[in-house]
A and B are shown apart, each in its own frame.
Chain A
Amino acid sequence: MEQKNTLRAEPNKDGHFGPYGGRYVAETLMPLILSVEDAWTDAKSDQSFWDEFEALAKDYIGRPSPLYYADATTKHFGGAKIYFKRDELNHTGAHKINHCIGQVLLAKRMGKTRIIAETGAGQHGVATATVCALFKIPCTIFMGATDIERQAPNVFRMKLLGAEVRQVTSGAGTLKDAMNEAMRDWVTNVHDTYYLIGTVAGPHPFPEMVRTFQSVIGKETKEQMMEKEGRLPDTLIASIGGGSNAMGLFHPFLDDDGVNLIGVEAGGHGVDTDKHAASLTGGTPGILHGMKSYFLQDSDGQIQEAHSMSAGLDYPGIGPEHAWLYDQKRVEYVSVTDDEALEAFKLCTKLEGIIPALEPAHAFAHVTKIAPTLPNDHILVMNLCGRGDKDIFTVAEKLGIKI
């Protein structure tokens, strides 16, 4: 008899995390989705696959990323002892490269000759274009027209790396529409194309696969914390759009009951307004992009536009494992507003000399709220999942500064 005493065994064989997840895709794609699953199952238990992944993680990405004791931040708040997991030091400047390396190896293994991906802020697009340049695989990146405009440097980076950037004008021209268009391309080019999904979302096996590649973050954190403090941390904090950096940090700790896990959603103008991207705290269960999860939608099941100053969090859904962990109450989900994230962005930069991306600035905003209330022996780890170079234009505009 199977006994469930772990939160780390999901999804089941059909890709369900409790009632969430699954494979809600057009029939044309089903045989391919099943073959991705077979290839992934095979790769997962193949040591040579992991040897190649780990070699690239070490020498190309630059792993392990440091676990940094943020002394100035700790002293500033006078409460919890604060550590940063420095995934912003990875090649390409964010955690996205972890699952891009993993997936490009899988695509190669499957004999796929073309890669497509969606991108919002451009980070996942840049990471995908990077690994495609490394492995000499042609790639097409779908990006909303609105995002192309507000993330021009990343568009240029992708092009330099040899990617074709295809502009998506349907809908509001943001991440959701880019994902729709990538799905349309995939169904049309099903025979030779691999869709390199950029977060723990989409149809099974993508949420589990991306989580597995990203859980290198949590595994390293566990080892590094044992080395530095001789015990597990008390609290882990990560920002959530689709949820890949948070899932990667949290998953190795899910069964460690003493570790509080906090996911920070993008509250935009506030979760009580109609301009936010908090799918869990402000959305309802639904089905889109191949998965059952939580979405921002109206009472008729029409998906609503998300809003966040951070293009990487500007998505009206969330990965299905987060939906399940939310229902299980294993992870606490909170939200912070654009304004709070902007203040946190400035504070982190000044205190630590680290310019964070706007995504982890959301996590840092929550740190600023709880750190002062916690005792000095409370150890808190925040995932600093991306660097802020890409965001300086957005921030300058918000601050009314012309650069």
Chain B
Amino acid sequence: MSRIEKTFQSLNRPALVTFITAGDPDADSSLSVLKALPNAGADIIEIGMPFTDPMADGPAIQHASERALAAGANMKQTLEMVRTFRDENTNTPIVLMGYINPIFTYGIEKFTKDATEAGVDGLIVVDLPPEEDSELSAATKDNNLDLIRLITPTTDEARLGKLLEGASGFLYYVSITGVTGTASADLSKIKPHIAQIKSHTDLPIAIGFGIKTPEDVANMAQIGDAVVVGSAIVQNMAEGLKNDDLTEAIKTQVQSLSSAL
């Protein structure tokens, strides 16, 4: 059984998924924050792979990518960060999230192999619809990585079938039409869509985009199997840079998000 399956099975409440960008604001601080996340209450960790042109992201995550790249972040370093984390933690699932170009440039086959060896559990690639993911899909299967598909408010019944085919781990429900860290979803609007998706699959559904506060988390936990907080944490990283203890600031935030579950 994969770490992701185990996590969803062992929890008797919805999971908290937290997002940080690898190497933001620098490799050491980023690793220190990563290590603190599980004890603070993160059940699953998404790590953003920095990219120069994050077209699906709002300003908070754009700036995180810029900070990381300015500090010398690269794909090798991202995998190294996961490897170091795994020395101490073998339970918390790690999902890498990002854009296809750095993976394509690394080499799809080699990347999936190296990611598995480093201790990565799943991949989310935001600019790779099923129409273009046959190579990555095959490579993730060969290497026991979950390929996590995105479902959005524009996904209709016909398209849902195509997205569920070959999806594994969990489904990532993008709760708004837009980029990360902007508008918040209206629960009553997405509730019927989530119910519709659930009638077609047993995969857990994580809800993300625009979820910022413990109240948002409690709200979305009513209908999701997991709730993703990304930009709000990354934004706090940016503000925490001014403080002495960045890790402590993020820990406090994640604890409060987690207590809402």
- Bits for B121-162, please: 1 = Cβ < 8 Å to A, else 0: 000001111011000000000000000011111111001000
Instruction: Check A3 for interface membership: any CB of B closer than 8 A.
Output: no
Chain B residues near A32 (CB, 8 Å)? Answer: 154
- Asked if A180 and B106 sit within 8 Å, CB to CB, the answer is no
> In the complex, A302→B58 CA distance in Å?
18
CA distance A111 to B207 in the complex (A): 31
Number of interface residues of A (CB under 8 A): 38
Please name the 7 residue pairs, one residue from A and one from B, whose CB atoms are nearest each other, closest first. A301-B105, A301-B102, A188-B178, A28-B152, A27-B150, A300-B74, A301-B101
State the CA gap A24–B127 with chains docked (Å).
Answer: 5
A31 touches B179 (CB 8 A): no
The 20 listed contacts between A and B (C-beta, < 8 Å) are A14-B131, A23-B131, A24-B132, A25-B129, A27-B129, A27-B150, A28-B174, A30-B159, A32-B154, A170-B59, A188-B177, A188-B179, A188-B182, A191-B177, A285-B104, A287-B127, A288-B53, A288-B101, A300-B74, A301-B106
The 8 Å CB contact of A22, one of B75, B132, B159, B177, is: B132
Alpha-carbon distance A327/B104, docked complex (angstroms): 19
Pick the contact of A31: B55, B100, B150, B159 (CB < 8 A): B159
Take A28-B174, A187-B178, A287-B104 as given contacts and tell me if A171 and B52 are in contact as well, using a CB distance cutoff of 8 Å.
yes
**Residue of A187, A286, A289 with most chain B CB atoms under a 10 A cut-off:** A187
Most buried by B among A170, A191, A287, A299: A287
Partner of B102, one of A24, A25, A292, A302: A302
Q: Is A351 an interface residue (CB 8 A)?
A: no
Smallest Cβ-Cβ distance to A21: which chain B residue: B132
A31 touches B53 (CB 8 A): no
- Quote the shortest CB–CB distance from A307 to chain B (angstroms): 16
A22–B101 alpha-carbon span in the complex (Å): 14
Residue from A30, A32, A176, A180 having most chain B Cβ neighbours under 10 A = A30
Judge whether A190 is part of the interface by a CB distance below 8 angstroms.
yes
Which of A26, A288, A292 is most buried by chain B, counting CB atoms within 10 A of its CB?
A: A26
Which residues of the partner chain A approach B106 to less than 8 Å between Cβ atoms? 300-301
- Taking CB atoms, residues of chain B closer than 8 Å to A297 are 101, 105
Q: Does A133 belong to the interface (CB within 8 Å)?
A: no
- In the complex, are the beta carbons of A184 and B55 less than 8 A apart? yes
Whether B102 contacts A30 by the Cβ 8 Å rule is no
Q: Mark B79-122, 1 if CB is under 8 A from A, else 0.
A: 00000000000000000000111111110000000000000000
B21 at the interface (CB under 8 A from A): no
- A28 in contact with B154 (CB, 8 Å): yes
Residues of chain A from 258 to 301 with CB closer than 8 A to chain B in the complex: 284-290, 292, 295, 297, 299-301
Residues of B within 8 A of A25 (CB): 127, 129
Distance of A295 Cα from B154 Cα, bound (Å):
30
B residues apposed to A, CB below 8 Å:
50-56, 58-59, 62, 69, 74-76, 99-106, 126-129, 131-132, 149-156, 159, 163, 174, 177-179, 182
Choose one: A27, A188, A287; the contact of B100 (CB below 8 Å). Answer: A287
Q: Are A303 and B55 in contact (CB under 8 A)?
A: no
Known contacts A180-B55, A191-B177: A300-B129 contact under CB 8 Å: no
Of residues 297 to 343 in A, which have CB atoms within 8 Å of B's CB atoms? 297, 299-303
Please indicate the chain B residues that have their CB under 8 angstroms from the CB of A27 in the complex: 126, 129, 149-152, 154-155, 163, 174
Contact assessment for B154 and A31 in the assembled complex, using a CB-CB cutoff below 8 Å: yes
Residues on B with C-beta less than 8 A from A288 are: 53, 101
Q: Type the 1/0 row for A176-210, where 1 means its CB is closer than 8 Å to any CB of B.
A: 10001001100111110000000000000000000
State which of B104, B128, B179 has its C-beta within 8 Å of the C-beta of A286. B104
Contacts of B50 in A (CB 8 A): 302
Q: Is the interface of A mostly helix, strand, loop or mixed?
A: mixed
- List residues of chain B with CB within 8 A of the CB of A22: 131-132
Residue from the list A23, A176, A191 in contact with B53, Cβ < 8 A = A176
Known: A287-B127, A301-B103, A303-B53. A28 touches B153 (CB 8 A): yes
Q: How far is the CA of A288 from the CA of B101 in the complex (A)?
A: 7
Q: Which of A187, A289, A292 contacts B177 (CB 8 A)?
A: A187
Q: Which residues of B contact A290 (CB under 8 A)?
A: 127
* Distance between B114 CB and nearest chain A CB, rounded to angstroms: 14
State the CA gap A355–B100 with chains docked (Å): 42
A24-B127, A28-B152, A287-B100 known; A184+B179 contact, CB < 8 A: yes
Contact residues in A for B153 (Cβ distance below 8 Å): 28
Which residues in A have their C-beta under 8 angstroms from that of B55?
26, 180, 183-184, 187, 289
**B131 and A26 within 8 A (CB):** no
Q: How far is the CA of A284 from the CA of B74 in the complex (A)?
A: 18
Contact status A26-B126, CB under 8 Å: yes
Please give, as numbers and ranges, the residues of chain B lying within 8 Å of A302 by CB-CB distance: 50-52, 69, 74, 102
Q: Using known A-B contacts A288-B53, A301-B102, determine if residue A24 contacts B128 with beta carbons closer than 8 Å.
A: yes
A250 to B120, CA, bound (A): 47
> Across the interface, do A31 and B104 meet the contact criterion of CB distance under 8 Å?
no
Could you say which of B74, B100, B174 contacts A24, with CB atoms under 8 Å apart? B100
Q: Contact mask A15-42 → B, CB, 8 Å, 1/0?
A: 0000000111111111110000000000
How far apart are the CA atoms of A213 and B171 in the complex, in Å? 40
Q: How far is the CA of A297 from the CA of B86 in the complex (A)?
A: 31
A285: chain B residues at CB < 8 Å are 104
Contact B52 A286 (CB under 8 A): no
A184 contacts across to B, CB distance below 8 A: 55-56, 58, 178-179
